[in-house]
Structure 1
Amino acid sequence: MDPEREFREEVRTWLAENLVGDFAAARGLGGPGRDHEAFGVRLAWERHMAAAGWTCLGWPVAYGGRGAGIGRQVAFHEEYARADAPARVNHIGEHLLGPTLIAFGSPAQRARFLPAIAAVRELWCQGYSEPGAGSDLAAVATRARPDPGSGGWVVDGRKVWTSHAREADRCFVLARTEPGSRGHRGLGYLLVPMDAPGVEVRPITQLTGTSEFNEVVFDGVRTGPDALVGAPGDGWRIAMATLGFERGVSTLGLQVGYERELRELIRVARDNGAARDPLIRDRLVRAWTGVRTMRYTALRTMAATAAGAPGPEASIGKLFWARWHRDLGELAMDVLGAPSMLTAGTATAAREAGTADGAADPAVPGGYDLDRWQRLFLFSRADTIYAGTDEIQRNVIAERVLGLPRDPRPSPPPA
């Protein structure tokens, strides 16, 4: 048997044999706008996967991975999606911080943090955006000063739109390590414990009624001596590499999940008759073409960056998938028609017609009982903002890929 096909069969068999009991009940749960669903079961599932060696497939074997090539990573993501397995909870650690530490971390940092990520013993969040520095990440004001007593750092500042901060054990934080520095200079990339004194997490209630995003306040938070990745001043370069991993390689799993959403939406359109509308049918075809394009873009990015950190070309993929997913949410509302305006608590007729997915979820604040398509529509509005806005992606592509002149920027005010 072909080795790639044999590996795919191994994945398919393992998933079939292990997605049982509580894990089977969590099939299809979680994901953007739905990460409150069965979080504890999904965490247990991912630790079960780790024990069997199914996390961090693309990491080198020396760091706890399998050293799997692109073909096997693709096969795993596809079979995982086909099995309707629960949404992953360790994405930020496995796909963002892990590759960053492999590329830039010290031997001590790799030894300390990578095994815990691979085993899903520690969850991570990302501390980049701030109330005054969202799209303009170089304007971050969070400060970090050396702590002579411990050899670590003392962090003060605020981060916002921090995904999964309430569940995370640690956060990688972009902060100013050089007093008086501006822009890209004088930044550090720090690993900060979330249970340290001085850390406060404030959930942000979204349109969906859930709170994947949070504000995080650091008030005199002390880190250990192994907290700084690279040298002081390397923070921008390392942070951009992390964003490259986020926008590039790791989006393959997103793409497979999006394809599954589209297949289900096509089924709904056929069942409720919306597919007979030529305009709806044309948009469904365009969405299918888009998800195919997304797949090939992700594969190209993976192939081009297999030997190192991804380049600015990864912004092409981020710009494309964010707009595609937002448009899918809008298409879903048009497929559902008038029932899309009703919440699940009042949409009995719609549910009986198979166009909504059940009763209110008591875990959602205020009984905000949206069905899956309403949640997709509302949450996907954020897709073009988080992980770098569309405006930022276009600037990156224009300046760093196409070599066009930089946008004029105002001179900084005098010190």
Structure 2
Amino acid sequence: MTAGAAPTTPEALRARTRELLAAHPPADTGRTAFLRARFDAGLAWVHYPEGLGGLAAPRSLQAVVDAELEAAGAPDNDPRRIGIGLGMAAPTILAYGTEEQKRRFLRPLWVGEEIWCQLFSEPGAGSDLAALATRAVLDEGAAVWTVEGQKVWTSSAHNARWGILVARTDPALPKHQGITYFLCDMHDPGVEVRPLRQITGEAEFNEVFLTGVRIPDTHRLGAVGEGWAVARTTLMNERVSIGGMRIPREGGMIAPVAAAWRERPELRTHALHQRLLELWVEAEVARLTGERLRQQLVAGQPGPEGSGMKLAFARLNQEISGLEVELLGEEGLLYEDWTMRRPELVDFTGRDAGYRYLRSKGNSIEGGTSEILLNIVAERVLGLPPEPRDDKDLAWKDLSR
């Protein structure tokens, strides 16, 4: 790559991308090798700092890079497979990590060499995450934390090398305090991953048992006791990544319904036509709103608006998949495969209508339940008074009795 100041114009980004393609022709370069070279050239996420996959350039210039690489047939990473790493772990590590942590974790995360999972929810602390009971105790002499607890609904834990983990480090403080954020090696002794079979028949989710897991203090992210603030950064990015995914016009869940409508005229009724038109318009509004939200990210970190997008995403997916099953009639009652398996990714559009209908039921739970997100929108977007909370300032050890 040409030395000098980082490019901050479309023309400079195109030139830098063409240099990458010339030095590493996609036809002659392995996928992993090309992705590593792209990261090192600062073209992975151009708005990240130099040396960390970016060039400290405006976020909007990423589209310039992506267009050049797509036109050249260059390989890309797979956000469906490494979405938790890209959408949640990476921005949190960037915001709170040490320089050593950033350089250790961001490159293999973006390339897809290391998969990440999220160790947040617990059997007794899902929507009320701050009630978590997993404990971490510090051995000051060894600078190592010992973790005991259980996590649940953990996507990709069976494939993950690393997990972003929140644990209670001071039970004498109120529940939103005394929490610390860690990076947990899923291959360490004491980490046990068990499958959770879902309504789809698959075990995409897992429960994770942590028994005497030792995490070095160098894998703590942020200050001791400041884990709730760090976790909020993760959660805000999670909701944007779920609800604000970039899709083409008539893409996502509305695509197979629209295709069935065009290809199967014998299925049409006036009532179904009206519902399809309404949902098509809502899907397009949500898509454009997502584009606007991503443009707002150029100015800084995501805000509570991502909660509104995630709410719309869940409701639309469930309504659209319900319409598809009804449109297909008896065919909509069929289900292709109930085999117990542990998939690497969730593929809504590559499966049948029955899968989409069943899997979309989880959209209003994962990434924050719709009820919790409605509270966030009411309080933090609309400015409505918060609901009374008697437990907010009590010590967690007293609440847990």
Q: Same fold (TM over 0.5)?
A: yes
The one of 375, 380, 388 aligned to 1:400: 380
Superposition map of 1:7-406 within 5 A: 49=35, 51-53=37-39, 55-56=44-45, 58-65=47-54, 69-73=58-62, 76=66, 88-248=80-240, 251-253=243-245, 255-256=247-248, 259-273=251-265, 276-344=268-336, 360=337, 364=341, 372-406=352-386
CA distance in 1, matches of 2:386, 2:174: 18
**Following TM superposition, by how much is the alpha carbon of 1:311 offset from its aligned partner in structure 2, in angstroms?**
1.6
CA distance in 2, matches of 1:72, 1:263: 28
Alignment TM-score, normalising by the size of structure 1: 0.77
CA RMSD of the aligned region, Å? 3.3
**Following TM superposition, by how much is the alpha carbon of 1:315 offset from its aligned partner in structure 2, in angstroms?**
0.8
**Following TM superposition, by how much is the alpha carbon of 1:280 offset from its aligned partner in structure 2, in angstroms?**
1.6
Q: Describe the SS at the equivalent of 2:202.
A: coil
User: What per-residue deviation string (whole Å, max 9, x for no partner) do you get for residues 206-232 of structure 1?
Assistant: 111111110001011001231111111
> Which amino acid counterpart does residue 115 of structure 2 have in structure 1?
L
**Following TM superposition, by how much is the alpha carbon of 1:332 offset from its aligned partner in structure 2, in angstroms?**
1.3
* Mapped contact 1:171–1:191 kept (Cα < 8 A): yes
Q: Describe the SS at the equivalent of 2:218.
A: coil
Closer, same or farther: CA 45–153 of 1 in aligned 2, 3 Å? same
* Mapped contact 1:92–1:125 kept (Cα < 8 A): yes
User: What per-residue deviation string (whole Å, max 9, x for no partner) do you get for residues 344-372 of structure 1?
Assistant: 3xxxxxxxxxxxxxxx586748xxxx952
> Which amino acid counterpart does residue 210 of structure 1 have in structure 2?
E
> Which amino acid counterpart does residue 264 of structure 2 have in structure 1?
N
**Following TM superposition, by how much is the alpha carbon of 1:87 offset from its aligned partner in structure 2, in angstroms?**
6.1
* Mapped contact 2:249–2:287 kept (Cα < 8 A): no
> Which amino acid counterpart does residue 353 of structure 2 have in structure 1?
W
**Following TM superposition, by how much is the alpha carbon of 1:312 offset from its aligned partner in structure 2, in angstroms?**
1.6
**Following TM superposition, by how much is the alpha carbon of 1:55 offset from its aligned partner in structure 2, in angstroms?**
4.4
* Mapped contact 1:153–1:227 kept (Cα < 8 A): no
* Mapped contact 2:152–2:207 kept (Cα < 8 A): yes
Moved more, 120-129 or 404-413: 404-413
Segments of 5+ residues of structure 1 without an aligned counterpart are: 20-43, 345-359
User: What per-residue deviation string (whole Å, max 9, x for no partner) do you get for residues 120-169 of structure 1?
Assistant: 22111001110000111111111111123431211111000000000000
Task: Give the count of matched residue pairs.
Answer: 362
**Following TM superposition, by how much is the alpha carbon of 1:73 offset from its aligned partner in structure 2, in angstroms?**
4.7
* Mapped contact 1:103–1:308 kept (Cα < 8 A): no
Moved more, 224-233 or 59-68: 59-68
**Following TM superposition, by how much is the alpha carbon of 1:3 offset from its aligned partner in structure 2, in angstroms?**
4.8
* Mapped contact 2:201–2:340 kept (Cα < 8 A): no
**Following TM superposition, by how much is the alpha carbon of 1:252 offset from its aligned partner in structure 2, in angstroms?**
3.6
> Which amino acid counterpart does residue 59 of structure 1 have in structure 2?
Y
CA distance in 2, matches of 1:117, 1:258: 30
CA distance in 2, matches of 1:71, 1:218: 41
CA distance in 2, matches of 1:97, 1:268: 38
Q: Describe the SS at the equivalent of 1:146.
A: strand
> Which amino acid counterpart does residue 239 of structure 1 have in structure 2?
A
> Which amino acid counterpart does residue 367 of structure 2 have in structure 1?
A
CA distance in 1, matches of 2:340, 2:81: 17
CA distance in 2, matches of 1:390, 1:204: 22
CA distance in 1, matches of 2:257, 2:32: 27
Closer, same or farther: CA 212–58 of 1 in aligned 2, 3 Å? farther
User: What per-residue deviation string (whole Å, max 9, x for no partner) do you get for residues 375-412 of structure 1?
Assistant: 11000000000000001101111112222111122445
* Mapped contact 2:202–2:339 kept (Cα < 8 A): no
> Which amino acid counterpart does residue 122 of structure 1 have in structure 2?
E
User: What per-residue deviation string (whole Å, max 9, x for no partner) do you get for residues 271-303 of structure 1?
Assistant: 222663122222222222222222232233223
User: What per-residue deviation string (whole Å, max 9, x for no partner) do you get for residues 87-133 of structure 1?
Assistant: 63111111211111111111121122112212222111001110000
> Which amino acid counterpart does residue 102 of structure 2 have in structure 1?
R
